[in-house]
Structure 1
Amino acid sequence: MSTATAVAVTGAEGFIGSHLVEALVASGRRVRAMVQYNSFSSHGWLELLPSEVMDCVDVVLGDVRDSGSVRDLVADCDTVYHLAALIAIPYSYRAPRSYVDTNVSGTLNVLEAVRESGIPRMVHTSTSETYGTARTVPITEDHPIVTQSPYAASKAGGDRLADSYHASFGTPVVTLRPFNTFGPRQSMRAVIPTVIGQVAAGERKVTLGDLRPTRDFTYVKDTAAAFLAVGTAPAERVVGRTFNAGTGGEISVGDLVRLIGTLMDADLAVLEDPQRLRPAGSEVMRLVCDAARLREATGWAPAHGLEDGLARTIDFFRDPAHLARYKTASYNV
């Protein structure tokens, strides 16, 4: 492991994490990347990054649920980006304790390590799911927290811990709350890769859940840029605060499917799969972001429109080597 001052990223092997690692290296930083320990020695999506990027990355196998792993990861770093989380909403109905262990207790371990080590900046990752169905739109950071799934509740618990550590100990933490991020490398538990992956595999009857909910979809490179923005902005502008990151636009799942069909030149029929439906009281029907606070504090703004981001994502899934990594015919919980 390099002894040079680095930034640490938990959840680095994941969808957003791998893009953030790429962006950090492009900005000139060396990255200490925590990958969840596994017996396959897999580095997840980091394995797709070019060698010139990985030359600036020190991969550390560990687990945020283990406090020792986290202390070793953050030692001598100047910024910690905490992205490690269990994220699939359907699986949170089956295994809620696992979400508490990772998203709450794991976040506690990161906060404790940052506090003990005197790290100058920690960026904690929240989610727009903590807002529940929009009561007012667009959603500002002052919107009530309404947790409609065990996943959302666990993420809100981590958020409250981050707030409490700043209030109680002055821990220099900032919370970023991305809305629905999409792009290359996303898992098929999310709607956009589910649709694109099925179409790229030759399907014209796409299997989905509820088509009514609306979402604010943000391209992953813009979300990564938002992480960099709050991680590097002057402390007085961001520390102790929560920031939404989203485009301010919204589209229903049904209209999204039609748009993807147009972009992929495919006439699609949608089949409803009951197992893909959330419980009625758990479905978040509308999310649309107000990112004015983030823009005012850091100057961040999304650089990619929905169609541009979808086109880039389609190109990724049309690569046979990438598509082969996915199980397009299965329901990915």
Structure 2
Amino acid sequence: MKNNRKILVTGADGFIGSHLTEALVRRGYDVRAFTLYNSFNSAGWLDDCAADIRGKFETFAGDIRDPHGVKEAMKGCDAVLHLAALIAIPYSYHSPDTYLDTNIKGTLNVLQAARELQISKVIHTSTSEVYGTAQFVPITEQHPLQGQSPYSASKIGADQMAMSFYCSFQTPVGIIRPFNTYGPRQSARAVIPTVITQIASGRDQIRLGSVHPTRDFNYVADTVNGFIAMLESERSVGEVINIGSNYEISVGDTVKLIAEIMDRQIEIVSDEVRLRPEKSEVERLWADNAKAKQLLGWEPQFGGIDGFRTGLQQTIQWFTNSDNLSRYKADQYNI
């Protein structure tokens, strides 16, 4: 795919979407950033995009739940990277209806418009949460899907809808399945920003939920490179592809590593409100990334314990900048 083609990025105002938008512009793509309409005329993290990117992409404010706006945004585009979604698991416990509308219906809107407009490629964003607690490790793309939260159930539904359009209408869809992405700009609802912001705010007692589950953390630059590899590869259509580091670490050990890098002595305090219901907690995630290496030529640049440490150092550096830290409310539980 030539770099001068026009790419729509939905969810471009979010954590991963803003980094992806920047990376695409730097690679010479003509980018249209689909952002959530609001009366403040805010484009989320794109309001603070890197200086070399500012003014070099188009912004379309809309709502992924509206099929008419989605189709309008997609007109004239060659490909769509669909990231727009509700992703907070605790919020899905009490507001599941919004997850169906945003994640499943929103994905349907993108797929239907892509079919009608004959878009050359759609990359749909999945999540490792669709696997639930690992039944075997490392987790391949053939692992059973388990909806252990309304969020993960909605993403399973969206994934299946995407694949159904490929099977039924030959819509050129590929599904990227990132494992736990972290890095600058991530929401404080995620564990790594939660820990960093609490420590950076001077706390010695860090309030957390469960610390025994394991995760496969991926620095945002690796995830972004995975999206671009999916976009540029002819072999991604009709495929579900894990983007993961193939390195497993517990939440507790992650917290210790962050404290070590920040040179702080801390105590972990269990906060009941942050605990997931027992059967909803995903106990273990560990990615098999062989398919990404084989089909896309992608592999993590921040892999293993050394890569994880480097990624955490860069993340900590960003969060501990006073201008960035001031955006976060370390004294509150962010769902």
TM-score, normalized by length of structure 1? 0.97
Correspondences of 1:57-206 after superposition (within 5 Å) = 57-206=57-206
**Deviation of the 1:5 alpha carbon:** 4.5
Matches of 2:246 and 2:52, distance apart in 1: 35
Residues 123 and 174, structure 2, Cα contact 8 Å, conserved in 1: yes
Q: 1:330 aligns with which of 329, 332, 335?
A: 332
Which deviates more, 46-55 or 313-322? 46-55
Q: Secondary structure at the match of 1:52?
A: coil
Matched with 1:314 is 316
Q: Secondary structure at the match of 2:65?
A: coil
Q: Secondary structure at the match of 1:159?
A: helix
Amino acid corresponding to residue 284 of structure 2 in structure 1: R
**Deviation of the 1:284 alpha carbon:** 0.2
Q: Secondary structure at the match of 2:141?
A: coil
Q: Show CA shifts across 1:12-62 (max 9, x none).
A: 000000010011011111210011011111111111212431222111110
Matches of 2:56 and 2:170, distance apart in 1: 31
Amino acid corresponding to residue 259 of structure 1 in structure 2: L
Correspondences of 1:223-242 after superposition (within 5 Å) = 223-234=223-234, 237-242=235-240
Matches of 2:200 and 2:30, distance apart in 1: 36
Matches of 1:152 and 1:6, distance apart in 2: 31
Matched with 2:294 is 296
Residues 5 and 76, structure 1, Cα contact 8 Å, conserved in 2: no
Which deviates more, 53-62 or 285-294? 53-62
Q: Secondary structure at the match of 1:53?
A: coil
Matches of 2:41 and 2:200, distance apart in 1: 29
Matches of 2:320 and 2:236, distance apart in 1: 39
**Deviation of the 1:68 alpha carbon:** 1.1
Matched with 1:44 is 44
Q: Secondary structure at the match of 1:206?
A: strand
Matches of 2:79 and 2:200, distance apart in 1: 39
Q: 2:258 aligns with which of 257, 260, 272?
A: 260
Matches of 1:202 and 1:25, distance apart in 2: 37
Greater than 3 Å deviation, 4+ residue runs:
none
RMSD: 0.8
Residues 184 and 313, structure 1, Cα contact 8 Å, conserved in 2: yes
Number of residue pairs matched by the alignment: 328
Q: Secondary structure at the match of 1:281?
A: helix
Amino acid corresponding to residue 329 of structure 1 in structure 2: D
Matches of 2:310 and 2:51, distance apart in 1: 27
Residues 34 and 73, structure 1, Cα contact 8 Å, conserved in 2: yes
Q: Secondary structure at the match of 2:186?
A: coil
Q: Show CA shifts across 1:218-241 (max 9, x none).
A: 00010000000010112xx11011
Q: Show CA shifts across 1:258-316 (max 9, x none).
A: 10000000001011110000000100000000011111011101112100100000000
Matches of 1:48 and 1:75, distance apart in 2: 27
Matches of 2:178 and 2:164, distance apart in 1: 21
**Deviation of the 1:149 alpha carbon:** 0.2
Identity of aligned pairs, percent?
A: 52
Q: Secondary structure at the match of 1:54?
A: coil
Matches of 2:254 and 2:77, distance apart in 1: 41
Q: Secondary structure at the match of 2:313?
A: helix
Matched with 2:269 is 271
Matches of 1:209 and 1:317, distance apart in 2: 21
Matches of 2:44 and 2:244, distance apart in 1: 26
Residues 182 and 218, structure 2, Cα contact 8 Å, conserved in 1: yes
Q: Secondary structure at the match of 1:238?
A: coil
Matches of 2:249 and 2:258, distance apart in 1: 12
1:30 matches 2:30? yes
TM-score, normalized by length of structure 2? 0.97
